[in-house]
Amino acid sequence: MTRKHLNWTALIVIALLIVAGVWFFVIHHASRKPAAAPRGTPVSTVATKLSNVPVYIDSLGTVTPTRTVTVISQVNGILDSVDFKEGQFVHRGQVIAHIDSRALQAQLVQAQGTLAHDKAALVNAQLDLQRYRQLIKVGSITQQTLDTQLATVNEDQGTVTADSGSVQNLQVQVGYCTITSPVDGVVGLRLVDPGNYVTTTSTTGVAVITQLQPATVVYAVPEDYLGQIHKAMSRGTVAVLAYDRDKKTLLAQGTLLAVDNQVDTSTGTIKVKAEFPQSGSALFPNQFVNARMQADTLTQIPVIPTAAIQHGTQGDFVFVVTAGNKVALRNVKAGPVSGDDTAILDGGVKAGEQVVTDGADKLDNGSVIRVVASAPAGASTAAASAPASAASGASATTASN
């Protein structure tokens, strides 16, 4: 073999080695290339459900006691004792104070003596009348004498009747010296101390007793809701819920008691009163509460998480998952809110359709999506609105419940 042939052979071998090296490098690195990221925007979805949604009218109200009684002395005298503790619950008829009754008792004894005297005089006059009626039959006395004696008996009867009234009046006055509670309720702070002279003309009284059960709440609602309230009342009992100032804690459950007879023209509202028979100590007089009156119930209406509703210049809308892992933008009319859910009034979505609850800010009509967490109808919104947990290894049960 000539030198020229050897050179050509070496060049071919070198060329083949270079081609083989390039092929090996390409194939090796191609096999190590990471897989392409899944296509589509990651979102969380929840299925639309049908539910009965209560329609509430919310108002700020004030707790008012059923009765507030200022106990005023009905006789004048020295206050002997105060028989209650401030803030104590008292029953109707329970003694709460005593007034010195010695002067009235002395007057009562005197009146009783006068009554006994006049009764004796009446008895004597009646006996004389009986004798006169026998004597006139035999002509021993004149008719004038008999008539005079009859008038005397009637006069004595009137005197005895007046004496009896005086005795009863003084008995009542003595009874007023023992002051009792007119209602079941809680006594406020003491207004007068023992030893003071109390009178019937006092405006402050001896004590103020507030009847707490059943508690009532008075609140004002716009006059526009009058029609709904009257319809609700015509259907039966109207439920009212009392919440605390933050609208988080339910204090008591009650019913609508009455609607005022006129609208306040200065505010365009009408006052409404609700009664709470089993409120316990949760409702206190003059306390501010949030009253929720159930005016109606929407039956089997589509409900979606409130987080799924987006707001735009054309109104509210939602993204509904369609075929091909895409979303469709649908305008909706939001209705009453119940917890974390909102009712849809115009039928923009149907039961079972999946709506996007998280990641909607990156979507447009027709966008391709990748569902990382979904929940069926009736599941909690929180489970479907946590794609990070699902993507980082949350259990499939949590994501699918």
What CATH number should be reported for the domain holding residue 256? 2.40.30.170
Q: Are residues 165 and 229 in the same domain?
A: no
Domain with 383 in it: what CATH number?
2.40.420.20
The reported pLDDT for the residue numbered 38 is 56
The reported pLDDT for the residue numbered 331 is 87
* Per-residue pLDDT tens digits for 171-196: 999 999 999 999 999 999 889 999 99
The reported pLDDT for the residue numbered 397 is 30
Please state whether the peptide bond connecting residue 214 to the residue before it is cis, i.e. omega within 30 degrees of 0.
yes
Summary mean pLDDT of the chain:
83
Q: Are residues 100 and 157 in the same domain?
A: yes
Q: What's the per-residue H, E or C state across the chain?
A: CCHHHHHHHHHHHHHHHHHHHHHHHHHHHHHCCCCCCCCCEEEEEEECEEEEEEEEEEEEEEEECCEEEEECCCCCEEEEEECCCCCCEECCCCEEEEECCHHHHHHHHHHHHHHHHHHHHHHHHHHHHHHHHHHHHCCCCCHHHHHHHHHHHHHHHHHHHHHHHHHHHHHHHHHHCEEECCCCEEECCCCCCCCCEECCCCCCCCEEEEECCCEEEEEEEEHHHHHHHHHHHHHCCCEEEEECCCCCCEEEEEEEEEECCCCECCCCEEEEEEEECCCCCCCCCCCEEEEEEEEEEEEEEEEEEHHHCEEECCEEEEEEEECCCEEEEEECCEEEEECCEEEECCCCCCCCCEEEEECHHHCCCCCEEEEEEEECCCCCHHHHCCHHHHHCCCCHHHHHC
33 falls within a domain: no
* Lowest mean pLDDT segment, chosen from 35-49, 121-135, 239-253: 35-49
pLDDT at 22 over 80: no
Q: Are residues 338 and 386 in the same domain?
A: yes
Sheet strands side by side (includes 67-71): 67-71, 207-211, 185-187, 89-90
Domain boundary among 178, 209, 240: 209
Q: Are 153 and 126 in contact (CB under 8 A)?
A: yes
268 falls within a domain: yes
Tokens of 37: 């990221």
Domain boundary among 180, 209, 238: 209
350 falls within a domain: yes
The reported pLDDT for the residue numbered 247 is 85
Q: Are residues 254 and 281 in the same domain?
A: yes
Q: Are residues 78 and 202 in the same domain?
A: yes
Task: Name the domain count of the chain.
Answer: 3
Q: Are residues 109 and 190 in the same domain?
A: yes
198 falls within a domain: yes
**What does residue 44 show for φ and ψ, rounded to 5 degrees?**
-115, 145
Of 15 and 74, the structure prediction assigns the larger pLDDT to: 74
What residues contact residue 15 under an 8 Å CB cut-off, 6+ apart? none
Q: Are 194 and 79 in contact (CB under 8 A)?
A: yes
Q: Are residues 62 and 48 in the same domain?
A: no
28 falls within a domain: no
Stretch 194-220: mean pLDDT, rounded? 90
Domain with 163 in it: what CATH number?
2.40.50.100
* Per-residue pLDDT tens digits for 279-323: 888 898 889 999 999 888 888 889 889 888 888 888 888 889 988
Q: Are residues 238 and 162 in the same domain?
A: no
Q: Are residues 191 and 218 in the same domain?
A: no
Q: Are residues 134 and 226 in the same domain?
A: no
Q: Are residues 118 and 194 in the same domain?
A: yes
pLDDT band with cut points at 50, 70 and 90 for residue 241: very high
**What does residue 315 show for φ and ψ, rounded to 5 degrees?**
110, -165
pLDDT at 351 over 80: yes
14 falls within a domain: no
Q: Which domain holds residue 350?
A: 43-53+299-391
pLDDT at 392 over 70: no
pLDDT at 23 over 90: no
For 24-63, letters b (16+ CB in 10 Å) and e give eeeeeeeeeeeeeeeeebbbbbbbbbebebebbbebebeb
pLDDT band with cut points at 50, 70 and 90 for residue 51: confident
Long-range contacts at 233-240 (CB < 8 A, ≥ 24 apart) = 233/259, 238/293, 238/294, 238/295, 239/293, 239/294, 240/274, 240/276, 240/291, 240/292, 240/293, 240/294
Domain boundary among 209, 231, 251: 209
* Per-residue pLDDT tens digits for 53-96: 888 898 999 999 888 999 999 999 999 999 999 989 999 999 99
The reported pLDDT for the residue numbered 5 is 56
What residues contact residue 60 under an 8 Å CB cut-off, 6+ apart? 219, 288, 289, 290, 291
Stretch 134-145: mean pLDDT, rounded? 87
118 falls within a domain: yes
- Angle of CA points 354, 357, 359, to nearest 5°: 115
Q: Are residues 79 and 201 in the same domain?
A: yes
97 falls within a domain: yes
CA 61 – CA 284 distance, rounded (Å): 12
